[in-house]
Amino acid sequence: MNRLEEEHILRRVLVSRNWYDPNTGRVSPNAFRAEKHDTDGISVSLRRLRSAKQEGESGRNPAGYHVAELPTSAVLTNSMTIEPSPVPENPGHAHIPELNYENRKEDISYERRQALADAVTGVHGPFTGSK
C-alpha cells in the first residue's frame, strides 16, 4: 500500500445547500458534484497538509462550510485518481479529475459521488468562509 492510499482528504460542503444532515451524519453525493468551474475535476485537500478549519475557512461563501473527511482509498478503489495541484495558500490542494463538469450527468459520475459520500468518516464545522 502506498502512502496516498493511507491518507485522508477534505472536501468543503456548502452549509446553504443542506448537503450534510447533522441529525443523521450523512453527506449527500451532491457534495461531490462538479460545478461549472470544475473543468479539471473537483477540488479536495490532503489532510496531512491542511486542517479541517483551514479548509472550511478558506471558502468564499458567507453562509459557511462543513468539511467532509474521507480516506483516499475510497477515491482510488473506485477507479478515480487524486492529482496534486498545490497553490501558495494551500499546499495540499488536489483534484479528482474523474469528477468534472463535463461528465457530471453521467451514471458513472453519480455512482462515484455516491461511493465518496458513503465513505465519509467525519464532518467538521461549520466554519465561516473568510475570503
Tell me the per-residue pLDDT of 48-79, one tens digit each, with 9 for 90 and over: 999 999 999 999 898 999 999 999 999 999 99
- Predicted structure pTM score: 0.93
Q: What per-residue confidence (pLDDT) applies to 3? A: 57
Q: How far apart are CA 45 and CA 11, in angstroms?
A: 7
Give the number of C-alpha atoms closer than 13 A to the C-alpha of residue 90, restricted to the C-beta side.
Answer: 23
Q: How far apart are CA 126 and CA 53, in angstroms?
A: 9
Q: What per-residue confidence (pLDDT) applies to 31? A: 98
Q: What per-residue confidence (pLDDT) applies to 1? A: 44
Q: How far apart are CA 66 and CA 125, in angstroms?
A: 5
**Mean pLDDT by groups of 10 residues along the chain of 131 residues:** 74 96 96 96 97 95 95 96 96 97 96 98 92 59
Measured CA distances, 81 to 42, 64, 98, 113 (Å): 11, 28, 7, 13
Q: How far apart are CA 115 and CA 113, in angstroms?
A: 5
**In contact, 13 and 69? CB cutoff 8 Å:** no
Q: What per-residue confidence (pLDDT) applies to 94? A: 97
**44 DSSP β-pair partners:** 94
